[in-house]
């Protein structure tokens, strides 16, 4: 059966235009050469970048692929991605739709900010660049960086950029974050235009951009901690929690307030038979009703009870069809006796999460557990992270959260405290598959089994294969990148994931 959700590029970009509050005049034709951006005010590009990257990550990468691979969700109708078989077009789009629009536009913001001596624009543009480059590198490994975004005539028409080794790319990204923070520190509101209305994430608040940049730097250093633990530890030990997100109000997210709303939610609503809660996640969260194993209070937010029996039922990942595998009690899975996603993810004003306060706390808890960082109280940071995750979804019954922390999620009772921290982080990262996928590769936690009818040698993939288009337009450089990394298919490993 052919899927009915294919959209033309022009239509998709037009939808993003409407989503980000029309993005001001001057964006009538986004089908023009992305290497020759329209000459508009740099600030007017910010909302377009934020809306585009939120959609591309939330829907194209996470909903269709990575949320399945980390077993947050499972495919209930079209199993290919859940069986680790991706379409070339989807991989091409994940790559192209980040490079061609948001990354190019972020570079325009930096260039125009430099021209105008506007430190706010320079800092914001560089933070966006680092976020987007790190997102792509985490999925693909070596990627164009030092020679990327130079395809316009004024920059030399460099259309075949070399691929930067991830081992050298990550330090450059951290340096660029430091440069962004230095620019934001020099921000003078009297010398800068007001970007409040153009910034969907932070409303132009420079202080929040600095918190995001420092939180992102913690994420990047932790990503490197298995490859160069001494350097990561030294850098993280020198960081201060007061410079990072300290409240859910500091979370990086995109919320659409106009009538078009959250495009990912619209797709999920329109494809209500295509996805269900994964059995892996459901079984971990359901509990058995005892004090020692209570139901996770986030479960009613993440999923809806089944119409048939009002229970929460997830399905195994990778099934050829709902009837191909039986539940633990021998019953068949049907659309009516399995749990869909909760309404918090299906509303037009549902946020698209970029980086959450809960994630930052889990990163701090991990660093405290491993090295005694951030005061060394890993338990306090961990419990604060779980509570922040609940509050993120407006859960106000903290007694139920306390029951969870005294039961299944008890830090004191855990034999492997790092495994507990990472598993609860996996729960908190629900629908943020790109970050959960990175954590699973880096730590092996939580322990996941390959999907039941997978077509990848009974292995969970560890990366995305390179887009086929690159072999046509940039063959010599992509061949060199593959030679540098070894295997670059589903089972190859990006540099920071290599043992």
Q: What is the pLDDT of residue 259?
A: 56
- 9-267+347-497 has which CATH code? 1.25.40.390
Q: Which of 159-168, 213-222, 261-270, 443-452 has the lowest mean pLDDT?
A: 261-270
Which residue has tokens 């490197």? 224
- 247 or 274: which carries more pLDDT confidence? 247
Confidence of residue 193 (pLDDT cuts 50, 70, 90): low
Cis before 93 (ω within 30):
no
Confidence of residue 415 (pLDDT cuts 50, 70, 90): very high
The arithmetic mean of pLDDT across residues 171-195, rounded, is 89
Domain-by-domain residue ranges, the chain?
A: 9-267+347-497
- The pLDDT, as a whole number, for residue 440 is 98
Give the contacts of 401 (CB within 8 A, at least 6 positions apart).
297, 386, 387, 390, 395
According to DSSP, the β-strands at 252-254 and 352-355 are: antiparallel
d(CA 457, CA 240) in angstroms, rounded, equals: 44
pLDDT computed for residue 308 by the predictor: 79
| Cα–Cα nearest to 441, from 226, 178, 175 | 226
CB 346 within 8 A of CB 73: no
Going by pLDDT thresholds of 50, 70 and 90, the confidence category of residue 330 is low
Q: How confident is the model at residue 72 (pLDDT cuts 50, 70, 90)?
A: very high
Whether 260 has a pLDDT exceeding 70, the answer reads no
- The pLDDT tens digits of the residues spanning 94-121 come to 999 999 999 999 999 999 999 989 999 9
State the pLDDT confidence band at 238, using cuts at 50, 70 and 90: very high
Cβ-contact 107, 149 below 8 angstroms: yes
Average pLDDT over residues 373-399: 98
User: What mean pLDDT is predicted for residues 75-87?
Assistant: 95
Asked whether the whole model's pTM tops 0.85, one would answer yes
**DSSP string covering 270-316:** HTTTTEEEBHHHHHHHH--SSSSSPPPTTHHHHB---TTTS----B-
Alpha-carbon gap, residue 276 to 68, rounded angstroms: 10
């Amino acid at each position: 059966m052919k899927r009915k959700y294919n959209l033309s590029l022009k239509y998709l970009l037009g939808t993003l235009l409407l989503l980000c509050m029309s993005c001001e005049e001057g964006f009538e034709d986004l089908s023009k050469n992305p290497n020759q951006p329209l000459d508009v005010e740099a600030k007017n590009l910010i909302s377009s970048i934020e809306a585009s990257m939120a959609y591309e990550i939330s829907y194209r990468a996470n909903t269709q692929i990575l949320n399945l691979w980390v077993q947050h969700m499972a495919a209930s109708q079209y199993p290919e991605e859940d069986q680790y078989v991706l379409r070339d077009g989807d991989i091409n789009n994940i790559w192209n739709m980040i490079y061609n629009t948001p990354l190019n536009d972020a570079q325009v913001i930096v260039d125009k900010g430099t021209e105008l001596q506007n430190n706010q624009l320079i800092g914001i543009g560089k933070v966006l660049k680092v976020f987007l480059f790190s997102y792509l590198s985490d999925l693909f490994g070596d990627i164009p960086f030092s020679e990327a975004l130079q395809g316009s005539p004024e920059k030399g028409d460099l259309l075949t950029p070399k691929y930067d080794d991830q081992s050298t790319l990550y330090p450059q990204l951290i340096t660029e974050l430091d440069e962004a923070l230095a620019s934001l520190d020099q921000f003078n509101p009297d010398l800068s235009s007001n970007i409040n209305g153009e910034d969907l994430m932070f409303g132009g608040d420079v202080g929040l951009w600095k918190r995001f940049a420092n939180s992102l730097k913690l994420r990047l250093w932790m990503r490197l901690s298995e490859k160069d633990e001494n350097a990561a530890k030294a850098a993280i030990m020198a960081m201060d929690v007061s410079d990072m997100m300290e409240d859910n109000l500091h979370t990086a997210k995109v919320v659409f307030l106009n009538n078009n709303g959250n495009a990912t939610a619209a797709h999920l609503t329109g494809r209500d038979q295509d996805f269900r809660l994964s059995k892996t996640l459901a079984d971990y969260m359901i509990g058995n009703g005892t004090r020692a194993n209570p139901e996770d209070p986030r479960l009613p937010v993440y999923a809806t009870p089944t119409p048939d029996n009002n229970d929460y039922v997830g399905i195994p990942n990778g099934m050829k069809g709902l009837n191909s595998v039986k539940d633990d009690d021998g019953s068949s899975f049907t659309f009516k006796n399995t749990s869909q996603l909760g309404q918090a993810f299906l509303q037009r004003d549902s946020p698209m999460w970029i980086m959450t306060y809960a994630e930052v706390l889990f990163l701090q808890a991990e660093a405290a557990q491993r090295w005694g960082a951030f005061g060394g109280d890993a338990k306090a940071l961990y419990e604060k992270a779980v509570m922040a995750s609940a509050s993120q979804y407006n859960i106000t019954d903290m007694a139920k959260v306390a029951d969870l922390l005294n039961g299944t999620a008890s830090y004191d009772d855990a034999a492997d405290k790092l495994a507990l921290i990472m598993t609860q982080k996996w729960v908190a990262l629900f629908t943020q598959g790109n970050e959960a996928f990175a954590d699973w590769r880096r730590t092996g936690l939580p322990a996941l089994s390959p999907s039941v009818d997978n077509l990848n040698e009974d292995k969970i993939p560890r990366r995305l294969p390179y887009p086929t288009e690159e072999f046509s337009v940039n063959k010599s450089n992509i061949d060199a990148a593959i030679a540098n990394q070894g295997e670059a298919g589903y089972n190859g490993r990006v540099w920071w994931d290599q043992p």
